[in-house]
Amino acid sequence: MADDKPSRHRSVPSSRIGRLGGFTRLAGGLAGGALSEGARRLANGERPRLDQILLTPGKAKRLTDRLAHLRGAAMKLGQMISMDAGDLLPPELAEILARLRDRADFMPPRQLDKVLAAEWGKDWRKQFRRFEPRPIAAASIGQVHRAMLPDGRLLAIKVQYPGVAQSIDSDVDNVASLLKLTGLLPKELDIDPLLAAAKEQLREEADYRREGAMMTRFGEMLAGREEFVISRLETELTTDRILAMSYEEGSPIEDLASQPQDLRDRVAAELIELVARELFDSHLMQTDPNFANYRWQAKTGRIVLLDFGATREVSAGISQDYRSLIEAGLEQDREKVMDAAIKAGFINPRALERHPDAMRHAVDIVVTQMSSDEKLDFGDRAFVPEIRETVMPIARDRESWHLPPAETLFVQRKVSGTALLCARLGARVNVRGIVSKVLAETA
């Protein structure tokens, strides 16, 4: 873990009133600024759209800055939408949300000390030989500090921002209203399932004792797998709002993008096999594929896995649904794929009735990609615009809308996020071979 992104001290609004005030001021600023901007453009003879006057470059920066300041659900929702719907979002909004993946401010020392004293007592410093006040990472619901115990062991200490856990539902609803206010969210994009998923995931991530238990389970699950590194839980220092674990050195996984092709391919293959084994073998999945949750140890050639707050059980039913869907795809049986997708809840049967040609074309694109005996080139995303153009008419048809089961949304987010990471690395992987192997071993 390292402090790879520039950050700054900013006190986290910890009360509900304080957080609501932040959203209210931002909404008021956007609306008030829109009136003056609209008047200026009209005076110049222009006829601007609402999104053009609501999100000028200055207001876009203000929106990003405010969401980063509030942290918690504000940042998490932005991150989730940017990863889950990135190919459907307008470029302006996609850029704003992408910035939220790369930045977070951290608590000033006085606020940090107040949180630590509340959890560990006023004399908390006596437990350490050294505690670094500047965080090495700052994310959506907490920041991470490096510390050394009296015996010389290095720890990573994750400290939760105050007020985050108590404001999850209201924050998600407020930030969703802000994003809708901008006018940039496509009308055909139904974000309700993302809102529900964000709330559920944040509640779990805010429970640091639960995360510690999941991290330990993952370590046991991957015991003997030398390609991965997982921190060890420091139980005595872990509380509801503090997670203490061994510090594991590493650099951002994206740094591998400049490394030789064979190394990138190997790392991507290991990550893909991990997802397959989470889904079909252990039935335990870390469902947050944020790139920051992976680090790379150049000296050892190992992948560091971080952040297990979003880890959850995968039911036998969901696992079987994915097995049926993938096996049909590998067999290139397109009708079987369609049936499996409907049974799993991915597709509304009404969509097939109302848009049969578009549905079959979309399935054909996906099957062609996944069933090839050649290595899948994740850096070549030429098929994405074709899929988008194919499915957008279906997405605009309200009678075709369908919400997959919540558990499926979590699993699919991990699958899609892993593919995005492989694309970032420009990896070429024999996905068919990896998945076929795991399916055979877990049949």
pLDDT at 145 over 60: yes
Q: Distance from CA of residue 365 to its chain's centroid?
A: 25
Q: Identify how many contiguous H helices and E strands the chain contains and give both numbers.
A: 17, 13
Q: Is the confidence at residue 18, as pLDDT, over 70? A: no
**Does 102 participate in catalysis according to the annotation?**
no
pLDDT at residue 390, rounded to an integer? 81
Say how far apart CA 356 and CA 372 lie, in whole Å.
24
- Written as one letter, the residue type at 404 is P
DSSP per-residue letters across 221-255: HTTT-TTEEEPPB-GGG--SSEEEEE----EEGGG
Mean pLDDT to the nearest integer, 108-137: 95
Would you state the pLDDT for residue 93? 54
Average pLDDT on 256-262 reads: 96
pLDDT at position 283:
97
Which residue type, as a one-letter code, is found at position 7?
S
Query: Can you give the pLDDT at residue 79?
Result: 56
Report the pLDDT value the prediction gives residue 46, as an integer from 0 to 100. 41
Write down the residue that tokens 């991530």 correspond to. Answer: 205
- pLDDT of residue 352 exceeding 70, the answer is yes
pLDDT of residue 422: 94
Please give the share of the chain, as a percent, with pLDDT higher than 70.
Answer: 72
User: Mean pLDDT throughout 233-261?
Assistant: 96
Q: Hey, what amino acid is at 270?
A: E
* Whether residue 156 has pLDDT greater than 80: yes
Residue 256: exposed, middle, or buried by beta-carbon count in 10 A (0-12, 13-18, 19+)? buried
CA atoms of 171 and 84, how far apart (whole Å): 19
Is it the case that residue 68 has pLDDT exceeding 90?
no
Mean pLDDT in residue range 306-314: 93
Q: What percent of the chain has pLDDT over 90?
A: 45
pLDDT of residue 30: 42
Type and span of the H or E element at 31: helix 16-43
Among 442, 433, 410, 218, CA closest to 320: 442
Burial of 45 (0-12, 13-18, 19+ CB in 10 A): exposed
Torsion region of 427: left, alpha or beta (phi above 0 gives left; psi -120 to 50 gives alpha)? beta
Q: pLDDT band for position 346 (50/70/90)?
A: confident
What is the reported pLDDT for 421? 93
Residue 48's pLDDT band (cuts 50, 70, 90): very low
Q: How confident is the model at residue 85 (pLDDT cuts 50, 70, 90)?
A: very low
pLDDT, greater one: 397 or 225: 225
At 75 the pLDDT is: 61
How does residue 140 score in pLDDT terms, banded at 50, 70 and 90? confident
Q: Tell whether the model's pLDDT for residue 28 goes beyond 90.
A: no
pLDDT-based confidence at residue 90 (cuts at 50, 70, 90): low
pLDDT tens profile 388-443? 788 777 777 767 766 677 788 889 889 988 998 999 999 999 999 999 999 999 98
Q: Is the dihedral of CA 410, 414, 415, 416 positive or negative?
A: positive
Q: Which of 105, 265, 288, 307 is catalytic?
A: 288
Q: Compute the half-sphere exposure of residue 251: CA atoms within 13 Å on the CB side of its CA.
A: 9
Write down all domains in the chain, each with its CATH number in brackets: 16-103+169-190 (no CATH), 108-160+207-248 (3.30.200), 250-443 (no CATH)
**What is the pLDDT, as a whole number, of residue 383?**
72
What's the pLDDT score for residue 37? 36
Residue 3 has pLDDT above 50, yes or no: no
Mean predicted confidence (pLDDT) in 331-342: 92
Task: Determine what percent of the chain falls in helix, strand and coil, rounding each to the nearest 5.
Answer: 60, 10, 30
* DSSP string computed for 171-214: HHHHHHHHHHHTT-S-TT---HHHHHHHHHHHHHHT-HHHHHHH
**Mean pLDDT of the residues in the chain:** 79
DSSP code per residue over 297-312: ETTTTEEEE---TTEE
- Average the pLDDT over each of 40-49, 243-252, 265-274, 414-423 and give the range with the smallest value: 40-49
Which of 281-284's residues contact partners 24+ apart within 8 Å by CB, and which partners? 281/438, 281/441, 281/442, 282/221, 283/313, 283/314, 283/315, 283/316, 283/319, 284/214, 284/217, 284/218, 284/221, 284/311, 284/312, 284/313, 284/314
Is residue 51 pLDDT above 70, yes or no? no
Total-model pTM: 0.78
The whole-number pLDDT of residue 63 equals: 60
Q: Is residue 250 very low, low, confident or very high in pLDDT (cuts 50, 70, 90)?
A: very high
DSSP per residue, 54-87: H--HHHHHHHHHHHHHH-HHHHHHHHHHHHHSTT
pLDDT greater at residue 310 or residue 86: 310
Looking at 64-73, 185-194, 233-242, 278-287, which range is the least confident one? 64-73
Average pLDDT score over residue span 261-271: 97
Shortest CA distance to 143 belongs to which of 112, 182, 177? 112
